[in-house]
Structure 1
């Protein structure tokens, strides 16, 4: 099998019996990917050659599990295909868990080795058990770092997941970021659209609460009591 072919095309070219066998062998490959994603571990190694003493987490785990030797789907492209599929399923599960609840959006900026800007997005919401949940949603590419471009990226994100801006109840940005001016403008644009999307300078909150474990425990207790009182009404 040519490792550069898309995994879906390869699968459909097999006979029925071969497809069953291939699916069984593919499970070992997917299990390796799921484990690395769950643990937040890197896939690639510095030296993945056959005579390398450490070929990286993915190949080493693949060999450790004694995966079928004739499973030739270890190319980085196929790994990315399955990782992207896992990301879609995970994000969909998060959106379902939100269940049209009110939520907050937390945003930070990230710059890669090519000095290209990205927007890191998290959602904060209360689930149906009354627990405050924070979930990483993804890293969005931005065409530029202007306020308008950032707002357009958020609109696209909301549209993709069928979210309404009217359900937004808070927005937070990293005040230590070198994009503080752009984030300030973004805050204003969102509040023009939804006055209930209150702004929180979340790096200050994290620093204050994180300075003492006692402060954190007290805040959690007070938040629990507040949620209980709100539910009574």
Structure 2
């Protein structure tokens, strides 16, 4: 008659209490794994037995958390039941895998139906296994350039077909539309150059607009700046030199002093010309080795988008030559009208005026709610921005590749290594998801 004392109700209450303890224990383990991964710390220890003086970061941090909370202290480590401690290496790997896959799903949702660029680097780990890292570059719904670390893949060799097969497999596994690839860049070593060239061709067979731009495309900007600095320095030197000679000549009454001044001027001019020639030759060699004629023309035509008045003919030429199948004939006509109207709109709308980069133009179109009005211009801008051509926006991709190579010094399984890197590099996403 006493329902509260009924055996079924007692079992239910006991089960509910046990479930709450298990959830708290698991939550502590998840938070510990996540925090250590965010700090790029190792999880396991060399000796994890209870008598060890250092049981590894994971168990030591659990012990620290337990010392500050009695509720946690009563359910973790030795106080936990044998089959539900949630501290084993397999549990840690499973937690990492779940968090990393959540991050990858978020990246997939960020990309959506947008075009994206594939950035790849390769290196060998401590056991001499070849691995490639995949970073995606795309424009999100807010018009902001994003670069996301997607995965780390072990490859049996570095042949072009092997690289493409593994890259395709990973992209399809995470449900990316490979037909949306609109750029590719690789940062391989010199002995990998032929493989990268072959990979470019294989990718272009399936993705007509996957134009190749080297990962260090921003060196174009540095090269131009360096060259202009040389010209400025030479100009200042010549100006000061001529002024000095004129003063000397004006104050000198002797012919030998004038001849000496002229001889000195000639020697210094020759030295500077040699320096300037060497500097310019170096910059030209850098540009020729990094960029082919097709890439240079694509960059040149794209640059007209950030002038005070957009060159309509140049942008239409860019679309006709590089993205012919992405625009219908009617859209090509409409694009020209949109560009002409946009040039008028720039003079009237201060929020559209003064755009200094293509990335700024993309964000301004979103912020001013002009993206729908100039939807064809927006499409052109997003196609161009998938190519890694600016220093500021490729830093994360380079950082990911640097971290990737540093981590290869340590021996760890491929999945563990990949998941660890994804969470560490994309921790701003992981923090929001868990």
In structure 2, the residue matched to 1:100 is 113
In structure 2, the residue matched to 1:44 is 44
Equivalent residues of 2:142, 2:363 under 8 A apart: no
Q: Which consecutive residues of structure 2, in runs of 5 or more, have no partner in the other structure?
A: 1-13, 67-71, 226-354, 366-370, 378-434
Larger RCO: Structure 1 or Structure 2 (Cα < 8 Å, ≥ 6 residues apart)? 2
Give distance in 2, aligned partners of 1:171 and 1:93: 22
In structure 1, the residue matched to 2:132 is 119
* Displacement after TM superposition at 1:208 (Å): 6.6
In structure 2, the residue matched to 1:88 is 101
Q: Residues 175 and 141 from structure 1, CA distance in 2 versus in 1: closer, same or farther, beyond 3 angstroms?
A: closer
If the length of structure 1 is used for normalisation, what is the TM-score? 0.79
* Displacement after TM superposition at 1:40 (Å): 3.2
Residues 1:194 and 2:204 aligned together: no
After the TM superposition, which of the residue ranges 133-142 and 171-180 deviates more from structure 2? 171-180
* Displacement after TM superposition at 1:41 (Å): 2.9
Equivalent residues of 2:155, 2:163 under 8 A apart: yes
* Displacement after TM superposition at 1:16 (Å): 5.4
In structure 2, the residue matched to 1:227 is 362
Q: Residues 186 and 90 from structure 1, CA distance in 2 versus in 1: closer, same or farther, beyond 3 angstroms?
A: same
Q: How do residues 7-26 of structure 1 correspond to structure 2 at under 5 angstroms?
A: 17-26=17-26
* Displacement after TM superposition at 1:53 (Å): 4.8
Equivalent residues of 1:126, 1:133 under 8 A apart: yes
Highest Rg: 1 or 2?
2
What value does the CA root-mean-square deviation take over the aligned residues?
Answer: 2.9
Q: Which consecutive residues of structure 1, in runs of 5 or more, have no partner in the other structure?
A: 1-13, 213-219
Q: Residues 185 and 40 from structure 1, CA distance in 2 versus in 1: closer, same or farther, beyond 3 angstroms?
A: same
Q: Residues 223 and 57 from structure 1, CA distance in 2 versus in 1: closer, same or farther, beyond 3 angstroms?
A: farther
* Displacement after TM superposition at 1:50 (Å): 4.4
Give distance in 2, aligned partners of 1:196 and 1:51: 61
Residues 1:73 and 2:86 aligned together: yes
Give distance in 2, aligned partners of 1:194 and 1:60: 50
Q: Residues 101 and 73 from structure 1, CA distance in 2 versus in 1: closer, same or farther, beyond 3 angstroms?
A: same
Instruction: Say which SS state the counterpart of residue 140 (structure 1) adopts.
Output: strand
Residues 1:205 and 2:340 aligned together: no
Q: Which has the higher strand share?
A: 1
Q: Which has the higher helix share?
A: 2
Give distance in 2, aligned partners of 1:60 and 1:210: 48
